[in-house]
């Protein structure tokens, strides 16, 4: 009797959408598991978002905070990286739908598609007050900030020049605070010797926050310290005021208009449409409400993690939308997939909050580790070492460390490049000769 040779069993197919902090961590932690992984991202790079504001403010170059995903996973034969945009999920057919009509079959799906900035129902403000989420956002902001100084250099009308040299940041969370502090230092320390017709010391940096304090997620005393530190480097802090309009001339808050040519939005986020793809319930920010084991209700084969979901931590409060939370969730999902393949189950996801950090200018930071709190120069060094540690690769760590030491010692920001267009695209030329 002739017997058929045994068919090789097909590896369990895991599709991971999003190679941000959550998706990449899941991929890393599945190493060695009997799975084949397809990692899909609409960008070809993994981005270290916590340092995006440094690209926007000309402190770091784009390549210092982003890495090609394909390169990061080049040694993992079981991982296929796809540069593609996901447009939906057919949970019945167990397929991921791409925007070009292709589909990807999965046994287990992990959605880690993050979030974007949100304008509280005023999307029409976005062209005037762009947010910061991608490398393109960062280089666009860098361009706007540098072009504003260039145009001010050629502007003779005092009111128009003042508007060009006024920078408004909406939202005083860590990103708003970090942007405000760095733009102030750019104007105070880096740019003054470069210009002839304007005194960049006179630039106004205005940070507007609807809540009663800056860095609301930090302890009260650290918020107060951050506010005083910002004010000491010339940032005007406006608290308890909601912005009611953003347009080409400036921003309206508290019934008054502030003329400003550069507005930056750092006030709110909205989750990716993962919940819509699945018809699953979501909170007001569009975050998919997942089960305690991070699966989607009624879909035990679909996990969702990171900024695109809402899940409560052990204290009953929602897990914050920060990188360590996304990584912890990615790690948990990888462990759960491995356990399931062994026929085991794991307990629910438990978030451990390690702490919060924010930089205020080049020499100060605040650190809130719960019982341990720190502010000032030592906090800045800890902030810097922590961020360098979390960067990928020795070359980037060295490059960033050198860039920061250079800024620290010489006030020089090397990435002061206006890209994406010539002076013609920069906006209308001033009508009068420079003063």
Ligand X SMILES: Cc1cc2nc3c(=O)[nH]c(=O)nc-3n(C[C@H](O)[C@H](O)[C@H](O)COP(=O)(O)OP(=O)(O)OC[C@H]3O[C@@H](n4cnc5c(N)ncnc54)[C@H](O)[C@@H]3O)c2cc1C
Residues in touch with ligand X (CB under 6 A): 17-23, 40-43, 49-50, 52-53, 85-86, 112-114, 132-133, 174-175, 272, 306-308, 321-324, 326
Q: Is residue 152 within 8 Å of residue 189, measured between CB atoms?
A: no
Nearer to ligand X, 223 or 308 (CB): 308
Beta bridge partners of 46: 67
Nearer to ligand X, 76 or 154 (CB): 76
**In the chain, what is the straight-line distance between the N-terminal and C-terminal CA atoms, in Å?**
99
**What's the half-sphere exposure (Cβ side, CA atoms, 13 Å) at 22?**
25
With residue 98 as reference, give the H or E element that holds it.
Answer: strand 95-98
Smallest distance from ligand X to CB 84, Å: 7
Smallest distance from ligand X to CB 327, Å: 8
Integer Cα distance of 322 and 269 in angstroms = 12
Burial per residue of 116-151, b for 16 or more beta-carbon CB atoms within 10 angstroms, e otherwise: bbbbeeeeebeebbbbbbbbebbbbbbbbbbbbbbb
Closest CA to 130 of 119, 114, 120: 119
Q: Is residue 142 within 8 Å of residue 178, measured between CB atoms?
A: no
Nearer to ligand X, 134 or 259 (CB): 134
The residue from 153, 155, 178, 185 that is catalytic is 178
Q: Is residue 327 within 8 Å of residue 346, measured between CB atoms?
A: no
Q: Would you tell me how many other CB atoms lie within 10 Å of the CB of residue 313?
A: 15
Residue written as tokens 């997939």? 337
Integer Cα distance of 314 and 388 in angstroms = 29
Closest CA to 64 of 75, 52, 82: 52
Smallest distance from ligand X to CB 267, Å: 12
Nearer to ligand X, 261 or 327 (CB): 327
Nearer to ligand X, 21 or 149 (CB): 21
Task: Give catalytic status of residue 245 as yes or no.
Answer: no
Which residue number is nearest to ligand X in terms of Cβ? 20
Smallest distance from ligand X to CB 325, Å: 7
Nearer to ligand X, 234 or 330 (CB): 330
Specify burial of residue 410 (Cβ count, 10 A radius: 0-12, 13-18, 19+).
exposed
Query: What are 42's two structure tokens?
Result: 């609409």
Smallest distance from ligand X to CB 45, Å: 8
Smallest distance from ligand X to CB 401, Å: 18
Closest CA to 15 of 99, 87, 82: 82
Query: Active-site residue numbers?
Result: 178
């Amino acid at each position: 009797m002739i017997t058929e040779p045994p068919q090789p069993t097909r590896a369990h197919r895991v599709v991971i959408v999003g190679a941000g902090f959550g998706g990449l961590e899941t991929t890393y932690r599945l190493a060695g598991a009997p799975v084949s992984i397809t990692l899909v991202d609409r960008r070809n790079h993994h981005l270290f978002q916590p340092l995006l504001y440094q690209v926007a403010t000309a402190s770091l170059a784009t390549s210092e905070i982003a890495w090609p995903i394909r390169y990061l996973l080049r040694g993992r034969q079981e991982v296929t990286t796809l540069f593609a945009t996901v447009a939906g999920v057919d949970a019945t057919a167990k397929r991921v739908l791409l925007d070009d009509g292709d589909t990807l079959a999965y046994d287990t799906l992990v959605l880690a598609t993050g979030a974007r900035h949100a304008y509280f129902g005023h999307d029409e403000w976005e062209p005037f007050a762009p947010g910061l989420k991608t490398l393109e956002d960062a280089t666009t902001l860098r361009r706007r900030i540098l072009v504003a100084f260039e145009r001010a250099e050629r502007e003779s009308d005092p009111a128009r020049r003042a508007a060009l040299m006024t920078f408004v940041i909406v939202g005083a969370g860590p990103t708003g605070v970090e942007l405000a502090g760095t733009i102030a230092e750019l104007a105070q320390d880096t740019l003054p010797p470069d210009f002839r017709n304007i005194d960049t010391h006179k630039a106004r940096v205005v940070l507007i926050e609807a809540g009663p304090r800056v860095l609301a997620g930090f302890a009260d005393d650290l918020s107060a310290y951050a506010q005083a530190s910002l004010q000491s480097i010339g940032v005007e802090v406006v608290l308890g005021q909601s912005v009611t309009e953003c347009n080409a001339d400036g921003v309206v808050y508290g019934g008054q208009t502030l003329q400003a040519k550069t507005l930056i939005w750092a006030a709110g986020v909205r989750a990716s449409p993962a919940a819509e793809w699945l018809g699953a319930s979501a909170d007001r920010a569009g975050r998919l409400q997942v089960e305690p084991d991070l699966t989607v209700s009624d879909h035990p084969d679909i996990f969702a993690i990171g900024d695109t979901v809402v899940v409560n931590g052990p204290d009953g409060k929602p897990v914050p939308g920060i990188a360590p939370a996304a990584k912890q969730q990615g790690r948990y999902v990888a462990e759960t997939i491995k356990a399931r393949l062994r026929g085991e189950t794991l307990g629910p996801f438990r978030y451990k909050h390690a702490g919060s950090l924010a930089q205020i200018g080049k020499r100060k930071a605040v650190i809130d580790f719960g019982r341990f709190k720190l502010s000032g120069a030592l906090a800045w060094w800890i902030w810097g070492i922590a961020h360098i540690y979390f960067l990928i690769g020795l070359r980037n760590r060295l490059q960033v460390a050198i860039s920061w030491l250079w800024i620290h010692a010489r006030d020089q920001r090397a990435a002061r490049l206006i890209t994406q267009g010539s002076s013609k695209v920069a906006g209308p030329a001033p009508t009068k000769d420079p003063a």
